[in-house]
Every structure is written in structure tokens, then in C-alpha cells.
Structure 1
Amino acid sequence: MPDKKQQLVLSVIDFLNQSIEDGTIKQDDREGLEVAIQCIGEAFGVDPSDHKQRAQLSIKPATLQTIFEVFLKTRDKVSSAATATTTTTPSRPSADAKAKAETHKATGNKHMNTKDYLAAIDAYTNAISLDPTNPVYYSNRAAAYSSKGDHSAAVIDSEKAIEADPSFVKGYSRLGHAHYTLGNYRAAADAYKKGLDLDPTNANLKSGLESARERIVDEDDTPPPLLPEDQVRSPSPPSASARGAGAGGVPSMAGLADMMRNMGGPGAGGPGAGGMPDFASMMNNPMFMQMAQQLMANGGMERLMSNPAMANMMNRVQSGGNLPSMDELMSDPTLHDLAGQFGTGAGAGGASRR
């Protein structure tokens, strides 16, 4: 049996030789092509001058070019037939097919009532196979998929329902619900909005659209405050020691000192000893955190770090000394003046609510 590759090579060599003889190839290119023909033949063990081998490998009366032309014509016919098949409008189901489809739908509804979602999906699939033009079957199957937690499949079936009937409002509701459950809030809002364009009074679509829009966070939204809003304002009326604070709720100098003393830790520097406060308690105190935010915003931190007393305190700590007590800090006139300026000016920089 002849080698098919050698048959193809001999056909190629014959085609190239014919192209040289009939003038298809320019005179300047002949020598290069002849060398190429010799190399191709040697590579595949084909000698076109060997009459015995040629008799075994020849495909005459066909030639490489005629075979290629047959292939092109066949391909074009197949392509045309496929195009005609895909563009032809599917035939409407018969009355008998519609009746059987409705029976399958009813069966699916019964399975939904008993929460047998897999059986319901099978029943709706049978209905679709009989009548693929009915959007209700896709919508019901989408509901079954959603009920079993397969919301991606519900998205596909909801889109098929809308494709079958773009005016089918339930399809947009199903689609919005599936996207919302998947966390695709923009897609959900878009589906609900399209449904409302068709049925502006639909309460379910209105509620769904509102919920989806509340979940959408735009890139240009104002970021939330560093503290929850219920902590930005003082959680309780200021004590007598904190009165005299600015409108933003920042305590006066005396109130600040009392507040920090009351937050002293259990060690030697605890309350009554005039020591430094417990920093964990400070971080959990809303009033202190509000003050720290305003200190950063008003440039107070830069002024604080440039204060000589603060530099001395840091050197003292680095040298192995203890932190200064609250009384020592409050007795420093520069720190006292800085805190006093900060307290009296805090009212203008208080946190605002949107």
C-alpha cells in the first residue's frame, strides 16, 4: 500500500514542476524552486524520475489542484447549509407538544412545592424540549436553580426567558434576584430597572432595585469616617470636668487630664499615682479617638513633635527612664498651651455627618 505522505509529496512536486513549465513561476525564481523541489524529494524519499515509484504513488487522473478545488466547493456547501440552519426561525411547536409541555410544567410546580428541586428541574427541562419558545418554562427552571443554590444557572435561564420574550417581566425579576444573590449588584440593578421600564408599578422590582442600589459603592463615593457615626459624637453628655469643650465635643484641658488619669493602668502609674494611662483603654475611648483625628487634621501633631519638652521626654525613655506622669505633662507650660489652643479651636473642625 502506497505511503500517503509520499503520495502527497509527489503531488506537490508535480504541481511545482507544472508551475515552472507553464510560466506561473518567473524565470528568476526557477532555479531556487528547482533546488527546493530536489530538497523536498530527498527529505521524503521521493524521486519523481523513478518510474516504478511514480506508478505506485501517482494519484492520476486527479491532481493536487483538482483535489483542492473539490475541497473548497465542498466546504462552501457545508458552510452555506450550516448558516441556513442557524438562521432559520425554529418552527412553532404543535398543539400536542404544547399540551405535553404544560403537563411537565405542572409536574415541575408540584416538585417545587415539595422542595424536590432536582425533579422540578428535570420536569421543566422536559417542557422546554417540547416548547422552547415559552419563557415561563425557563423562568420556572431558573427559580428551581435558585432554590437549590445554583444562581449562575439561574442567570442563564433568566436570560433565556428574556430572549424568548423580551416583554416577560418575570424574567427580569428572576435575573435581578440571581445577580443580587451572586453579589453582582450593578447587574441586578440593571435587570430590575429594565423590568420596571415594562411594569412601573411592580412592587417586587422596585424593592429589588432599591436594595441593589444600596449595595453599589461608586468609586467616587466619600469614604466613611474613621470611626462609626455613633462614636463620632460623645456617647453620653460630657462630665463636669469636660465642660468648656468646643462644639466638636473635644474636652477642655482640665477635662482631658481627668479623662486620661481615669484611664490609668493597674501598674505603678495607675489612677491616683499620677501615671500614664492605659493605652488600650485610650484607643477604645471615642472622645480620645476623635481628639486624635482632629489633632492630625489641624497640624497639631507637627507642633507637638517640635516641642522641646516632647523631645526631652523621648530622650528620657530611650535612656531607660520611665514615662512622665500625667501631672508632669500637664505642668509643662508649652504642652499646656498647645493643648489649650487645640481644645478651644476644635469646635470648628469637628466631624460632620453626611
Structure 2
Amino acid sequence: MRKKAEYTRCPLCDSIEFLRTSAQDGTVKEDDKESLEVAVQCIAESFGVNPDSSEDQSAYSIAPASLLSILDVFLKTKAKSTPGSTSAPAPAPAAASSSSSGPSEADKKAAESLKAKGNSLMSQKLYDSAIEQYTEAIKLDANPVFYSNRAAAWGGLGKHEKAVEDAQKALELDPKFSKAYSRLGHAQFSMGEYEAAVQAYEDGLKIDPSNANMKTALATAKSKLAESSSNPVADREPPRGGAGAGAGAGGMPDLSSLASMLGGAGGAGGGGGGMPDLASMMQNPQLMAMAQQMMANGGLERLMQNPTLRNMAENMQNGGGMPDMSALANDPSMRDL
């Protein structure tokens, strides 16, 4: 009885129960279970307790606590009371896991505000300033929408390589973001990479098959791809103009060449002042290249400021028909233009 009185506060029954549970739940190997049972018997005999006795259990048990819960309390108390203890800053891992899980709500809110400013600047065509806002938003929250919007801003500046990078980054973050495929296709198309643009649009339409804008862009990209495949030289090198007309410099095309192309078209040639065959004109790669170059470099705007052409347009509106293209090509004012 002395031993019982001496060890009244020791959780003997709980220790024995812990060992028995370890033998039953697979904590110890099958070969070691017999040794564990022997240990249980030795502890019970040494301290004079019967773990199966309800009287001894009520006397020595610490339920509902357990050995593991007591150990946990001990370690936490020790960490708080020990100066300079390495386990004291326990919340650090929790903070790290919280940061690794993503941006905070405050960061997300601030990033959305920056994106809204960027969108407003985009509507004003202030692309540089919009890029700055999107970049700051990305620092707070690596959102695929922010990358996609910045890709559009890069495109507005004509920096299509940067637009491709941002569109691809958006797709890395969200492979099902159809808008990013549209941005990617547009940037690649603008760089003359028609095959890559076609692939981007097709991938985007797999995700958003009803997107009408992407369907139109895909058709245009396929058309340019077919055109470049059938007439690669005309696509790579714009037609060269005559003296003072510098087609290679982005100005007016050679009007003499233009007149010769239009002359006799459809049986009503430009020399006779008749209407050329517009269908044939639209199928002529050289003529289309001239028109595209004029539009891209401001040639068309300068062309319409010429008095001769203004008179020609007024004459056509008043029912005067098409002008004589040969005479137009030989007009000194047109040559000066």
C-alpha cells in the first residue's frame, strides 16, 4: 500500500493504457507486441496496480487528459519560459504558409485598384502609364488577367514580343484563360507569325468556341498564312516604287505600275476612264501590298489631301465615273505627292 500512496499522482494506468494501445493500433511491429505486453505486466507489478481494476483507474487515471496532451503542454510551456529558445517563434512557419498560399485580401484589393487605373489609361491610349499600373498590380498579385491586360498595352506600343511574353505567362497561370489566347494570337499575327497565330486562335476557340472575335481573327490569320505560303516573296518584300514614290519607304506606290495593272481590266481599262475589274484588283497581291503599306504609313491620308484626288472624288460623287488612270499617273502633282 505504501507504493500506492507514494505514486498516487502518477498516471500509471494511462501509461499502461498507452502501451496497450500502441500494441493494438500497429504503432509497434507484430514481433514486438509480446515484449510490450511483458513491459505492461512488469510496470503493473512494480507499482502494485491493476490496470483492469476500475478502482485503480479512478485513483491513478488523469482522464480526460493523456500522456501526449501533457507532453504537448509541457513543450509549449517550456518554449515560452526559456529565454532565447529556438522554438519560441513558433508562429513563423504559419506565417510562411500563409504567404505561400497567395496574396492577402488587402493586396488583392490594391491590385484590383491598380488594374482599374490601368484599364482607364488604356482607354485613353496612354499605354506606357497603363503598363506601369499593371506591373505594380502584378507585384501584389500574379493574376493572369493583369498579364493579359499588360500584353494588350504592349501591343498598343507596337512591342509585340513583350505582348507574347505576357500572354504566355497568363496562360502558364491559367491554361483555360481564352482571352490570353486572343492576346497571344494578335501579337503573333502582328509580328507576321501567322502559323503561330492560327494555333493560338484555335487553342482559344477550343475553350471558348462561341467567341465571334476570335473566329474572325482566326479566319484572317489563315488567309494571311495561305497568302504568304503561295506568294512568299510578295509578303516579304513590298513592291518598289518609281522615282520619288519610294514604296520601300512606306510612301506612295508607283502610280505608273498601278495604272498598268488597272489598264484594260475587265475590258474597261483605266485608259478609257471605265470601271476596272474590282474583283481582279482584290486578287492582285502586289496591289493589296501597296494598299496595306499606304494605310500603315500614312500614305493614304496624304493622298486624300491632294487637290487632284479631291476633284476626282467629287467628280465620282456627281456621277462622273472613274478617272483616266493613265492620265492620273502622269499628273505632275501626283508625281510630287
- TM normalised by structure 2 equals 0.39
